[in-house]
Structure 1
Amino acid sequence: MSDFRKMTAAEIAAAEARGATAEAWALVSVTDDFDPSQLLQCRLEGRVEIGSGARIHRSAVKNYRLEARTLVEGVTALECRRRSSFGNGTPVAAMNECGGRTVKITERMSAQTAYMTVVYRHRPQLIAALDKMADDLAASRSGDLGETGCDCRIVGARFVREVRMGDNVEIDGASLLENGTLCAGARIGADVKAYDFIAAENARIDNGATLERCFVGESCRLDKGFTAVDSLFFANSHCENGEAASIFAGPYTVSHHKSSLLIAGMFSFFNAGSGSNQSNHLFKSGAVHQSAHLRGCKFASGAYIMSPAVEGAFTMVLGHHADHHDTALFPYSYLIEKEGRSQLMPGANLTSYGTVRDVEKWPARDRRTVKRDVIDFDEYNPYTAGAMLRAVDMLHTLQENDPAAAQYNYNKTVIRSTALARGVKLYNKAIVAALGAMLDGAAPNERYDGTGRWLDMAGQYITKREAEAIADDIEAGRLRSFEEIDNRFRVFHVHYAEYARSWAEQVLTSLLGHAPTAAEAAEAIEAGRNAHQAMRRTTDADHDRDCAPELAVSYGLDSDDPEEIEADYRTVRGLK
């Protein structure tokens, strides 16, 4: 932070000669290297502090500190009209429109602490402790003077009110920003309107987006008229054109279409097709219902779900579903509408090249530098593998209860007997691949106990045991700040591979009936590699079908030569 002094009489006269005016020059402070050329046709009101090389041109500034090399140009009003916490502590009714899962946002919030606040409402002492941390942070950030960081650029904006900025922030053409924090590297573009918000490091909000009571996480992008209210967006999410209301958008939540609505739900690694929609029409008690679309879910064009509902990780949803299904037990599935009913195809998505592409593209598209949100990208992990083990048990149970059935009813869905049998085979192969990969991922280490159930906490795979231990320590006052909580999540993340191996060893022990020998572990690793290769042959074949010559329809429009048509097709598709 710069050291400031009062302006001299000569500096004031020189500034006034350049068209600068002030409500009271005595309230204007500058650095020792101040030059009156930094001011041009501007109006200064209240307390204004001008850092080294900061410039104010053709703008009105009220109650603001401008740090070094910041430019304010063509701004109708950059002002702090009242004491503000700059968006910190704003209550956001995420996931449930009636506010039963309200999160108080802060500039230090991670996806994991937000997840805990949203999901763990059965622990009121935990929620009270997290809310107090948010209130304390908001109080510590409260002030009656707005601030910019160094090297900020605020140009062509209309009203920027009660907004605090980190270093290298850019505001270009925004319509109205009010009561918010822009962390380092954030970018706000033309016609944006945002109220009661926080934009984390390198977030970008552009082209007419409108936000109210929202948190926009690190390297997120909201663009092209996207509107959101009471929503949380975490790392690398990218939403354009459509609408969000009361959502928890975990990392890599994507929506690009004008006709798409995300409402009253939890998402992560998610993709919304055009016209996809979730509704909350059961209004007997108000808009109290919600849906959870677990990691990697996709909605096809026109997909519809009536809340409440939940789908297992990496589920592809096609058609309309209004019976409130619960398929959390069945990852990598298709959920399709057939004859007005929700039909579940367990494990069917394991054969899709699209699933492989998704798993590979997410780490490649990670734009973060701070990495406050913990994200695990591992394809083979205890969370989905554990779900597949439970899914196989459930499928066997359904079959054993009625061996001759043509179809089975499960949690408001229908599973055909042929789909059940295929699902068992697909899951078993994927379980073998997952166990082998996790056993091969780290050396045995008894210090890291990964046994038991695992969770996916907004992008981080973690044992339920450790999540509850963190919650216990928050309630007991042993973790007193968001930084301390985040550090606990990061420590687990650092040793994730050891925890995952421990889980895999437990499963292998259960399957063998005894602790595996080194030779048996090596055999499981080799079996896993073989299973993985077999699965890849299946997904590669799916890729080849998607690139088959018969799909060259509409290519080579002006050609009658099959070779030219194929050349156009292969060039455009990037095929060898």
Structure 2
Amino acid sequence: MTYRALTPNEISVMKQNGCNSTDWNDIKVKDGFDCCNYVRVNFSGEIRLGLTDETVIGTAGIIVQSGIFDASLHNCTVGDNVHIAKVWERIINYDILDGAYITNIGSIICTGSRAFGNGTEVNVLNEQGGRSVLIFEELTAQMAYLMTFYRHDKEFITSMDKMIRDYAAKKKSAVGKIGKMAKITNLGSATDVVFDDESYTNSCSLLWDGTVGKRAFVGPNVVAEHFVFASEACVDKGAIVKNVFVGQKAELTNGFLANNSLFFANCIMEAGEAVSVFAGPHTVSMHRSTLLIGGMFSFFNAGSGTNQSNHLYRIGPVHQGIMERGCKTGSGSYIMWPARIGSFSLLTGKHYKHPDTSELPYSYVVEKNGKTVVLPGANLKKFGTIRDILKWKKRDHRSNDLPRLDIINYDPLTPLTTRKMYQGIHFLNLCETDPDYPSAHNFVIEHKSIRHGRELYALGVDFFMGEEVMKKLAQINVTDCPDSLGYLLIPESNEGVGRWVDAAGLIAPATVINELCSSVAKGSISSPEELAKSLQAIHNKYSDYKWEYVADNFKSCYGITLDSLTKGAAISILHRWTESVDSFDRERNTDAHKDFNENSMVSFGIDLDPQSRQVDFNEVRGLPEKNDQMIAVHNHYASLIQEAYAVICRLKEPQHI
């Protein structure tokens, strides 16, 4: 960009407008510069000024004149059509890009000593370190997961640390940035902070050493130190954070306190507190009395008063806990870490004995007479479970025109949960022969729950396997093939066989993840961009991996090998599966109807006679057959059954000669 010196006439006009400079020769401007749009401005150091030939869109869509008014700038480059007004101290060492709007602020200073939050060490799970994650602008939930939980692979961790430190070193600069169309209003002070394009910072108190991502919002009374706010993140209304990463469309607000924590896509955190937390996608905590500490959470919903403790008063706050995907806690729940709760489980009461229910997903984990009692599979047919699963995808509000950092697999049932249900069946078989077996995992299972749990898990396995068989058959031309279908269904690879992992939203075979880590350790993957692409490539092959898992478990589920599958056998499998689908639909519908029974009406009709309270109830809650959520769940199952019958009809069609 070509700049020129100010003319004597321009200097004269600017002086008349109350402008001052320590050296007018240090100010360079573009051709077309309009000196009239600079009023009461103090300049010092190297200054570059752009054009002011257009207006600027300010807050609430108000149109204002571009230019600088009542401000002090030191070593700054100002782009075209920028509006800066009422800078009570100084803006020092910043590039301010086209269309930015800055008004009524204290100071914005770049010292050159920081990398704008990149490279900040965040001590997740263990407050004293040991699982620290280095945050940076391109951090994804999957990268953080691997850095947190793959500490056993020292070469991988060393390579990851180097990769991120190199990234941070490149970001370190003596000059900060205020991006295109960024808005900064009523700010107290910001030191060593990058404000990316279209970001909006309004009335926050203090920002130090961080990055405010593209279209991110930082609101009133926020205090943030050593942070990275990803694109479209929201930190608002008195939130106070330190050593924190906030992911895309994640929201921290209403006085939420966070220290050494990671919050990934679509998290909503209000009023409570988080310390050393790994909050995977869709983690929600919205109550002032709630503390999340030293734990891994994902697709999690915290009831009011949820609490954990990670300090057993011996060597310090070093204990950790895992709440696998989809867990919930009831109001007033407490758990003493270390502990691990299986996926999609509901935990209520207080638990002190460090239970490990990871082999029993979809369970109720309850307190009974001071003991942890597990009801295996009890959550599998509950309406709230499928409601949550269906709502998460609808609540992914990340914009499609921005790159999505976190990979999120929204499949209701996966090879991971199915393998867990297989393990659950095996676990319950052992419990039947040895009633004390659960005690080794620090919980109790009542004998009457064993058989029911096995039945529920078997139904869940059948649901997953049948749905995948139906989808696979729908993809092939079954009409023109011979009676034997097996040769069309045998997978080309077996990478999906065996153990699977949920890497904070990415569901993949463990062997594939281990190979990825090996590539990082060897230097084959040497940049965050390459790593992100490799992770996405794994996600893109999910359907192939999933079918490989189904093929490997086909005989154990159906009693025949996949290569011997005939059309008749396939039809039988699909009919069996539709019965499972119908069972889930009926069970969950029955569960939802409990919100419409007599007990649910107790607090209705406050000034009506008991016989009339039904009228009040119906007006407020409506009728079950018209409930949007119940209709959505039923339609979900009905569509699956329709797909199955469409495939059955194709299988029954005569072969064309």
- Please report the TM-score for the alignment, with normalisation by the length of structure 1: 0.95
Q: Of 116, 137, 152, which residue of structure 2 is paired with 1:122?
A: 152
Match among 570, 577, 589 for residue 528 of structure 1: 577
Greater CA drift, 194-203 or 20-29:
20-29
Alpha-carbon distance in structure 2 between the residues aligned to 1:98 and 1:380: 36
> What secondary structure sits across from 1:235 in the alignment?
coil
Kept in 2: contact 1:312–1:328 (CA 8 A): yes
Q: Which moved more, 1:35-44 or 1:111-120?
A: 35-44
Distance 1:32 1:118, change over 3 A: farther
**Residue of structure 1 in register with 2:386 after alignment:** 356
1:553 partner amino acid? V
Pairing partner for 1:569 from 613, 617, 629: 617
Q: Match for 2:108 among 69, 78, 83?
A: 78
Q: CA deviation at 1:514?
A: 2.8
SS in structure 1 of the partner of residue 444 of structure 2:
strand
Question: For residues 313 and 227 of structure 1, do their structure 2 counterparts lie closer, same or farther at Cα, with a shift above 3 Å needed?
Answer: same
C-alpha distance in 2, partners of 1:378/1:394? 25
- Residue in 2 that maps onto 1:372: 405
Aligned with residue 301 of structure 2, among 253, 262, 271: 271
Conserved 8 A contact 2:311-2:318: no
Give the distance between the partners of 2:8 and 2:78, measured in 1 at CA: 16
Q: CA deviation at 1:8?
A: 4.6
Aligned residues between the structures: 570
In structure 1, C-alpha distance between the alignment counterparts of 2:261 and 2:506, rounded to whole Å = 20
Structure 2 counterparts to residues 141-290 of structure 1, below 5 A: 141-290=171-320
Distance 1:68 1:280, change over 3 A: same
Shift of 1:34: 4.2
Q: Check whether the contact 1:381–1:434 (CA below 8 A) recurs between aligned residues.
A: yes
Distance apart, 1:462 and its partner CA: 0.5
The separation in 2 between residues aligned to 1:53 and 1:185, in whole angstroms, is 19
Read off the aligned partner of 1:391 and give its amino acid letter.
G
1:485 aligns with 2:485: no
Cα distance change, pair 4–278 in 1 and its aligned pair in 2 (3 A): farther
Q: Any idea what the Cα deviations from partners look like across 1:495-536, whole Å, max 9, x if unmatched? A: 212211221111113342533514345543442332122012
Q: 1:377-526 to 2 correspondence within 5 Å?
A: 377-401=410-434, 409-442=439-472, 443=475, 444=489, 445-447=491-493, 449-511=495-557, 512=559, 514-516=561-563, 517-519=565-567, 520-526=569-575
Superposition deviation, residue 482 in structure 1: 1.3
Distance in 1 between the 2:615 and 2:32 partners?
64
SS of 1:440 mapped into structure 2: helix
Alpha carbons 1:277, 1:303 under 8 Å: kept: yes
Aligned equivalents of 2:33 and 2:615: distance in 1?
A: 64
* Backbone CA RMSD of aligned residues: 2.0
Contact map agreement 1:205 1:221 (CA 8 A) in 2: yes
CA distance in 1, matches of 2:370, 2:389: 32
Cα distance in structure 1, aligned partners of 2:597 and 2:20: 70
AA aligned opposite 2:127: E
Shift of 1:399: 0.7
Question: Aligned partner of 1:163: which letter?
Answer: V
For 1:41, the aligned partner's letter is D
Counterparts of residues 42-81 of structure 1 (less than 5 Å)? 42-45=71-74, 47-59=75-87, 60-81=90-111
AA at the equivalent of 1:571:
E
Q: Give the distance between the partners of 2:370 and 2:3, measured in 1 at CA.
A: 71
Change in CA separation of 1:35 and 1:231 when aligned onto 2, cut-off 3 Å: farther
Confirm whether residue 39 of structure 1 aligns to residue 74 of structure 2.
Answer: no
Q: CA separation in 1, counterparts of 2:507 and 2:433?
A: 33
C-alpha contact 1:380 1:437 (8 A) present in aligned 2: no
Which residue pairs with 1:553 in the alignment? 602
One-letter identity of the residue aligned with 1:514: T
Contact kept? 1:157, 1:174, Cα under 8 Å? yes
Instruction: For residue 449 of structure 1, report the CA deviation from its aligned partner.
Output: 3.3
Instruction: Measure, in 1, the Cα distance between the counterparts of 2:556 and 2:332.
Output: 43
Query: What is the aligned-residue identity percentage?
Result: 35
Rate the CA distance shift 1:561–1:414 in 2: closer, same or farther, 3 A.
closer
Note if contact 2:197-2:214 (Cα within 8 Å) is conserved in structure 1.
yes
Q: Is the 8 A contact 2:235 2:253 kept in 1?
A: yes
Displacement of 1:412 in angstroms is 0.5
CA distance in 1, matches of 2:17, 2:468: 69
C-alpha displacement at 1:546, in angstroms?
1.4
CA shift, 1:346, in A, is: 0.5
Cα distance in 2, alignment partners of residues 82 and 544 from structure 1: 62
Instruction: Summarize the Cα distance change of 1:69–1:3 in structure 2 as closer, same or farther, 3 Å threshold.
Output: farther
- Separation in structure 2 between the aligned mates of residue 297 and residue 148 of structure 1, nearest angstrom: 40
Distance of aligned partners of 1:532 and 1:42 in 2 relative to their CA distance in 1, 3 Å threshold: same
387 and 42 in structure 1: CA distance in 2 versus 1, 3 angstrom threshold? same
How high is the TM-score relative to the length of structure 2?
0.83
Structure 1 SS opposite 2:174: coil
C-alpha distance in 1 between matches for 2:523 and 2:17: 57
Change (3 A) 1:346 1:14: farther
How far, CA to CA, are the matches of 1:26 and 1:418 in structure 2?
Answer: 88
Q: 1:97-140 CA distances to partner (integer Å, 9 max, x unpaired)?
A: 11100011000111101100000000111001001111011011
CA deviation vs aligned residue, 1:151-206 (integer Å, no higher than 9, x gap): 01000111011111221100000100111011111000000000000000100000
Q: Offset at 1:547?
A: 2.3
Whole-angstrom distance in 1 between the partners of 2:597 and 2:9: 78
Q: Secondary structure of the residue that 1:568 maps to in structure 2? A: helix
Contact 2:495 / 2:511 at 8 angstroms: preserved in 1? no
Which residue of 349, 357, 367 corresponds with 1:337?
367
Q: Tell me the secondary structure at the aligned position of residue 277 of structure 2.
A: strand
CA separation in 2, counterparts of 1:13 and 1:547?
A: 79
Q: What letter corresponds to residue 277 of structure 2 in structure 1?
A: I
> Is the Cα contact below 8 Å between 1:223 and 1:240 reproduced in 2?
yes
Any conservation in 2 of the 1:437–1:529 contact (CA below 8 Å)?
no
Structure 1, unpaired ranges of 5+:
none
- Measured against aligned partners, the alpha-carbon deviations of 1:519-560 in whole angstroms (never above 9, x if no partner) come to 345543442332122012101110011122441222333334
Q: Distance in 2 between matches of 1:491 and 1:237?
A: 25
Deviation of the 1:448 alpha carbon: 6.7
Residues 436-485 of structure 1 show CA distances to partners (whole Å, capped at 9, x for unaligned) of: 12223345442573111111000111100110010010011111111111
